[in-house]
Chains A and B, each alone.
Chain A
Amino acid sequence: MNAAWQIEVRLAGSVDDAVGHQVENNLGWMGVTAPVSVTTARQFLLVGSIGRAEAERLARDLLADAVTESATVHEHAVWDGRRPHSVTVFRKQGVTDPVEASVKRAAGRLGCRIDHVRTGTTYEFKGPLDDAALSRIGSGMLANTAIEDLRVGVVRIPDIRAAHASTFARREVLLRSVDDATLEKISRDGGLSLSLEEMKAIAAYFVREGREPTDVELETLAQTWSEHCKHKTFTGSVVYNKGRPDEVHFKNLLKETIKAATEKIAHPMCLSVFHDNAGVIAFDDVNALCIKVETHNHPSAIEPYGGAGTGVGGVIRDILGTGRGAKPVANIDVFCVASPDMPAAKVPKGCMHPLRTLRGVVAGVRDYGNQMGIPTVNGAVVFDDRYVGNPLVYAGTVGLMPRSKVTKEVRPGDLIVALGGRTGRDGIHGATFSSAELHAESETVDSGAVQIGNAITEKKVMDVILVARDRDLFRAITDCGAGGFSSAVGEMGAECGADVVLDDAPLKYVGLSPAEIWISEAQERMVLAVQPERIQSLLALCREEDVEAAVLGTFTDTGRLRITHAGILHADMDMQFLHDGLPNTLREATYDPPPLGADPTIAQADVSAWLLKLLATPDIASKEWIIRQYDHEVQAGSVVKPLVGTRHHGPSDAAVVAPVLGSRRGFALGNGIAPRHADLDPASAAEAGIDEALRNVVAVGGDPSHCAILDNFSWGNCRKPDRLGAMVRCAVACRDTAIALGTPFISGKDSLNNEYQADGKTIVIPHTLLVTALAIVPDIAKSVTMDLKAAGNVLYQVGETKEEHGGSALSHLVGVSGLHAPRIDGAAAKSLFAALHRTMTDSLVVSCHDLSEGGLAVTLAEMVIAGDTGAEVDVMKAVASQDATLTARLFGESLTRFVVEVPRGKESSFETAMAGHPCARIGVTTVEPTLVLRAEDQTLLRLKGAELENAWRPSLTAWLAGGHANKEVR
């Protein structure tokens, strides 16, 4: 007999309800000013062959904590579940709930068979709030209606179960004889994001085939040809500045810029670049490192927690699917959001407040990364109001693999095996959705495109894959990302062909159509090509580790993609057309420099005040509140941590990780991002991004001659020539800078169409290039951190200061754009990085910090804060260009600069080593932790470490922890 019981678990009266308090603290967001108290309860709906006694036993022994909680059991069929002043939130039917499997498993151990579980949370309010207010609070801050339902005044969770199975007939779409308008309508109505030219090419192909396409074929083509999967803008033809003196034609923009640099450099460390899921370089004699950074912008805009979490999950799968599988050893995360102090009234319709977005993405990264057991070791947050409609979420993973497992191949006859999570309706049309612009209705229209992750499922998949790899149980592997099976099988079978049988794909629930199974972006799935003689061993291994696996067909030598379901042939297409049939588009790109801006000037008397203001800006302020929520030490390889210094509070330039336990060889991981530089010149954004990423890894001891970089472009709508023109200029500068520095790009991605339409206005994100650097650290014992070490040491500025305020933090704070964006001297930078690295391997340096946002003054302030050691510096002693003003010396953001602390007695060795490079002794370290800045004999500022820290450390935390919510933000 099947019965349904709802079990309500609440905290004992003596236990503090922290979740309730968090809600109370954030009610100010919703315009609630009256005092309100909130208590919470967890809800479990259990359906199975259990009676009241069993339900009560499960409540007591499994669901409620014996010390802190108590439980009430309600018979679902006869219970009205009414509760005034309450909001109950639970997942929509069909949305993955990871708790379900765990409850079923544990209940089984306790002798109870449970078939179905739904979970939810109830919030009870004491205070003057009516149902309308509660409904507003519920959808505004408690539930994300993209994936969750809520009930006001009722805590009973509806018992809804999946639909019955149905058969799906072959469905043809009439394309061959319809007019252009109809073709466009078919694309639009089907959410295919295919252009008219593309629809025409498809129609022409099916004229040659002598029949109409099926819905499955059309979906397959839409996915394969999507901007997200094909990167057709970046790999397409572009004419730049047509009719002008600097007109350039690109046949393939990516090949002629980013990839051209890698080819030209031809670095021997590169083992596999640009054709696998991640770039691979040599690590030591037996191991290789691979790295990938991805964006998950559009899903994170709709559902920050799920979007960011699955972003992390997706990039981890890229690493698992590189070569024949790599072990993820480090994660990085970079977010771009609007300012935390954006007034609620300024948030456009359909957008979330940036703080809600940021909290959500931090929680998503935290939960997925921590549960996977991969340390999140480095990251950044950039604040600019133009990200309000399109927040950016970058997630990256480094993997370690044997050098013998770098390659893969698929042979006809190999079995197609799906491994990992089940397929559901989640994430349908993610590939095409992420290629479209967002608008005010996206939140409701596209909620099906949001995926929800389950990190534990992926952890199990990871464990199995690494063992299967070492036992040679498969020949090739790739991940199911955007486009699901369609993308994974389509790519793996591109050179040979594939016969796919969808019947055995494990499904979350019945009722999925063949097209849905084929393109679903359900998470945590991998596709393997398995030698038939190894399949039993692989399936046995999967059973041992509770991982589901199913054979989905065979790779063939027919050159065709054939898909059947229930004996019906739903697709039979030429692989070559699928992969090469996309019509090449010629796009126009134009670049016009913006009008000249003005430089900020700071009065001498105000230097202290501006430094303190800079330290408190969210871009510069401590990110400790975020960093501490990430496990940055799991796997025990973290050597230079994200927080360093006397009290573990200083901001590291980069992370150093020693991924092989017992070995002292490591790698440094850093990022560079300078979107505001792009407002003045996208070339500067490329140079500053690459320079910053390199500065960061060099500052901690990374070897610049053994360093690879990655590009990630997040751009506006590149069908518009000015956006594309900026991207061309940026990509060309990437090429030139990489060649000059000798650092090859080994992987990259682009996310276009980051524009938001609301209230008749378009918000375009700043052109945003994230550069990630991965450098070998030959001996981790030579790593250097940024905290000042001891009094009596000598401070140097390495690098030259120029009058460059374009896009600087000070310019932004003052409200000007700056006149010149910083530019790089690539050849000089290359030899400076090499010389500085040698001083570290020769143990001449005890601390080093790069100069980035806020320039020399902020760098020194951070070193003083982190080291609880003072610094006395004459800024006029630093190497600077003739025209450099005092403001530039203090706060300018010229590239390729560092502050270096050298122990007394090693100055002459250091100076000899740096001979020929801009490098000057600027001051000394002192016992008293105070920063003193002078211009020759004039004192510009004298600030105690505590004053600096009080400006820098709590600023962003106060926003994120909700302290500001009731005051400034309404």
Chain B
Amino acid sequence: MATPKVLVLRCAGINCNEETAHAWNMVGAEAEQVHLNRLLESPKILDGYAAVSIPGGFSYGDDIASGKVLATELTTALSDALHRFVDRGGMVWGICNGFQVLVKTGLLPGKLKTGRTVAATLTWNDSHRYEDRWVHVQLDGRLCSVVEKHGAIIELPVAHGEGKFITADPADLAALEAAGQVVLRYVSANGGQTSYPGNPNGSVGGVAGVCDATGRVFGLMPHPERFLTPFQHPCWTREKHRTEGDGLSLFRGAMRTLRSS
């Protein structure tokens, strides 16, 4: 079976592309870092990829609002190509700024089963500050197949200023949760509800990552590509039990999905 190819998107201000490509390669994918301009020239190159991975960073400086300018590029010049890609079963992953981009495009959280599109955004953290810290998140694997173990609690770093997820209609959040679209939630170490700093941005319901109704478009604020080896954890010198970083399992889960589709 051919090695799944992953397009790791680059553009002005994206800056986590190297480690994101490294993560994909670690789990056996063939990651290629492709500049947005190449994609704009020939959107057809998407046909050669099984997944599109939008890394973290500050696309276009996050001018206007985080992810907004890149989202505008995607929803105008690349709208058709991207929808075709998703419709034919392609996977789209956004991490941090990539997640912000996907939410601003409307691809996430997308439509409910009822067909109604959820209006949602990622806005300023309650602290109104950019912060880098480690959090616990609980995984919901009912819909999104990148989750290896439903209900598992893992640790990941977050690093953002605009990560507070809100829906225009609070009822939509419950609908998303019910549908299994809330893939990651900020929790305490033992899985309980948490507030700042465990929930670093004030996201309602502790939402840290969501997928669309197909489970193949997925975005999250935490950075799984920054926790692939035990040495990347802030406590590795005192917690020697780890053999790998928790973030690796998400990439492995994504690969399993790509291989099986």
Mark out the residues of chain A between 368 and 399 whose CB falls within 8 Å of any chain B CB in the assembled complex. 370-373
Chain A positions within 8 Å of B167 at CB level: 67
Q: Are A628 and B132 in contact (CB under 8 A)?
A: yes
Contact with B along A619-652 (1 / 0, CB 8 A): 0000000001111111110111101111010000
Give Cα distance in the complex from A784 to B231, angstroms. 11
Contact of B234 among A106, A546, A643 (CB under 8 A): A643
Chain A positions within 8 Å of B22 at CB level: 636, 661-662
Give Cα distance in the complex from A648 to B232, angstroms. 13
Contact of A106 among B73, B128, B232 (CB under 8 A): B73
Closest B residue to A544 using CB positions: B37
- Of the candidate stretches A12-20, A74-82, A473-481, A571-579, the one touching chain B is A12-20
B148: Cβ under 8 A from any A Cβ: no
Q: Are A646 and B235 in contact (CB under 8 A)?
A: yes
Q: Are A366 and B126 in contact (CB under 8 A)?
A: no
- Of the candidate stretches B1-9, B61-69, B177-185, the one touching chain A is B61-69
Chain A positions within 8 Å of B171 at CB level: none
Assuming the A-B contacts A102-B64, A544-B35, A639-B232, are A628 and B19 also in contact, with contact meaning beta carbons closer than 8 angstroms in the complex? no
Q: Are B73 and A636 in contact (CB under 8 A)?
A: no
A355: Cβ under 8 A from any B Cβ: no
B60: Cβ under 8 A from any A Cβ: yes
Smallest CB–CB gap between B165 and chain A, Å? 10
Closest B residue to A97 using CB positions: B63
Chain A positions within 8 Å of B166 at CB level: 67-68
Closest B residue to A375 using CB positions: B132
Q: Are A634 and B159 in contact (CB under 8 A)?
A: yes
Q: Are A62 and B68 in contact (CB under 8 A)?
A: yes
Assuming the A-B contacts A62-B68, A634-B16, A636-B225, are A16 and B126 also in contact, with contact meaning beta carbons closer than 8 angstroms in the complex? yes
B119: Cβ under 8 A from any A Cβ: yes
B124: Cβ under 8 A from any A Cβ: yes
Give Cα distance in the complex from A780 to B63, angstroms. 38
Chain A positions within 8 Å of B231 at CB level: 639, 658, 664, 780-781, 783
Closest A residue to B228 using CB positions: A636
Smallest CB–CB gap between B18 and chain A, Å? 7
Contact of A15 among B123, B131, B225 (CB under 8 A): B123
Chain B positions within 8 Å of A110 at CB level: 72, 76
A456: Cβ under 8 A from any B Cβ: yes
A906: Cβ under 8 A from any B Cβ: no
Chain B positions within 8 Å of A102 at CB level: 60-61, 63-64, 69
Chain A positions within 8 Å of B232 at CB level: 633, 636, 638-639
Smallest CB–CB gap between A455 and chain B, Å? 7
Smallest CB–CB gap between A61 and chain B, Å? 8
Chain A positions within 8 Å of B127 at CB level: 18
A22: Cβ under 8 A from any B Cβ: yes
B129: Cβ under 8 A from any A Cβ: yes
A459: Cβ under 8 A from any B Cβ: yes
Chain A positions within 8 Å of B35 at CB level: 544-545
Q: Are A787 and B238 in contact (CB under 8 A)?
A: yes
Q: Which of B119, B157, B231 has the most CB of A within 10 A?
A: B231
Q: Are A18 and B121 in contact (CB under 8 A)?
A: no
Give Cα distance in the complex from A67 to B106, angstroms. 12
Chain B positions within 8 Å of A847 at CB level: 237
Q: Are B123 and A65 in contact (CB under 8 A)?
A: yes
Contact of B121 among A66, A629, A783 (CB under 8 A): A66
Assuming the A-B contacts A646-B238, A787-B238, are A546 and B12 also in contact, with contact meaning beta carbons closer than 8 angstroms in the complex? yes
Q: Are B234 and A641 in contact (CB under 8 A)?
A: yes
Chain A positions within 8 Å of B37 at CB level: 544-546
Closest B residue to A628 using CB positions: B131
Give Cα distance in the complex from A638 to B236, angstroms. 12
Interface size class of A (residues with CB under 8 A): 35 or more
A454: Cβ under 8 A from any B Cβ: yes
Mark out the residues of chain B between 65 and 114 whose CB falls within 8 Å of any chain A CB in the assembled complex. 65, 68-69, 72-73, 76-77
Smallest CB–CB gap between A276 and chain B, Å? 25
Smallest CB–CB gap between B92 and chain A, Å? 19
Q: Is chain A's binding surface mostly helix, strand, loop or mixed? A: mixed
Smallest CB–CB gap between A779 and chain B, Å? 10
B226: Cβ under 8 A from any A Cβ: yes
Smallest CB–CB gap between A637 and chain B, Å? 8
Q: Are A629 and B235 in contact (CB under 8 A)?
A: no
Give Cα distance in the complex from A779 to B58, angstroms. 32
Contact of B64 among A99, A638, A661, A867 (CB under 8 A): A99
Chain B positions within 8 Å of A638 at CB level: 232
Give Cα distance in the complex from A412 to B58, angstroms. 40
Q: Are B12 and A106 in contact (CB under 8 A)?
A: no
Q: Are A661 and B73 in contact (CB under 8 A)?
A: no
Closest A residue to B158 using CB positions: A633
Q: Are A460 and B12 in contact (CB under 8 A)?
A: yes
Smallest CB–CB gap between A783 and chain B, Å? 7
Q: Are A65 and B159 in contact (CB under 8 A)?
A: no
Contact with B along A54-69 (1 / 0, CB 8 A): 0000000111011110
Q: Are A103 and B119 in contact (CB under 8 A)?
A: no
Chain B positions within 8 Å of A644 at CB level: 234-235, 237
Contact of A371 among B19, B58, B69, B235 (CB under 8 A): B58
Smallest CB–CB gap between B108 and chain A, Å? 13
Q: Are B19 and A456 in contact (CB under 8 A)?
A: no
Chain A positions within 8 Å of B252 at CB level: none
Chain B positions within 8 Å of A636 at CB level: 19, 22, 225-226, 228, 232
Q: Which of B58, B129, B238 has the most CB of A within 10 A?
A: B238
Q: Are A631 and B159 in contact (CB under 8 A)?
A: yes
Closest B residue to A869 using CB positions: B238
Smallest CB–CB gap between A701 and chain B, Å? 10
Give Cα distance in the complex from A966 to B31, angstroms. 54
Chain A positions within 8 Å of B123 at CB level: 15, 65, 67-68
Chain B positions within 8 Å of A789 at CB level: 237-238
Q: Are A633 and B223 in contact (CB under 8 A)?
A: yes
Chain B positions within 8 Å of A947 at CB level: none
Mark out the residues of chain A between 354 and 374 whose CB falls within 8 Å of any chain B CB in the assembled complex. 366, 370-373
Give Cα distance in the complex from A546 to B12, angstroms. 8
A785: Cβ under 8 A from any B Cβ: yes
Contact of A67 among B68, B121, B159, B236 (CB under 8 A): B121
Q: Which of A109, A454, A635, A644 has the most CB of B within 10 A?
A: A109
A105: Cβ under 8 A from any B Cβ: yes
Give Cα distance in the complex from A616 to B7, angstroms. 50
Mark out the residues of chain B between 14 and 54 whose CB falls within 8 Å of any chain A CB in the assembled complex. 15-16, 18-19, 22, 35, 37-38
Contact of B72 among A62, A370, A641 (CB under 8 A): A62
A597: Cβ under 8 A from any B Cβ: no
B136: Cβ under 8 A from any A Cβ: no
A284: Cβ under 8 A from any B Cβ: no
Give Cα distance in the complex from A645 to B236, angstroms. 9
Q: Are B121 and A371 in contact (CB under 8 A)?
A: no
Q: Are A633 and B235 in contact (CB under 8 A)?
A: no
Q: Are A633 and B72 in contact (CB under 8 A)?
A: no
A343: Cβ under 8 A from any B Cβ: no
Contact with B along A785-813 (1 / 0, CB 8 A): 10101000000000000000000000000
Give Cα distance in the complex from A65 to B56, angstroms. 20
Q: Are A456 and B60 in contact (CB under 8 A)?
A: yes
A131: Cβ under 8 A from any B Cβ: no
Contact with A along B234-251 (1 / 0, CB 8 A): 111110000000000000
B57: Cβ under 8 A from any A Cβ: yes
Contact of A372 among B15, B121, B126 (CB under 8 A): B15
Give Cα distance in the complex from A787 to B64, angstroms. 42
Chain A positions within 8 Å of B126 at CB level: 16, 18
Residue contacts A-B, CB under 8 angstroms, 13 given: A65-B123, A99-B63, A105-B69, A456-B58, A463-B10, A544-B38, A628-B132, A635-B16, A635-B18, A639-B231, A644-B234, A781-B231, A867-B238
Known: A61-B72, A634-B19. 15 other contacts (CB 8 A): A62-B64, A63-B64, A99-B61, A102-B61, A109-B76, A372-B15, A455-B58, A455-B61, A546-B37, A630-B132, A631-B130, A633-B226, A634-B159, A644-B235, A648-B234
Name the 10 nearest CB pairs between A and B, nearest first: A373-B15, A18-B128, A102-B63, A636-B19, A67-B121, A109-B76, A456-B61, A106-B72, A99-B63, A785-B237
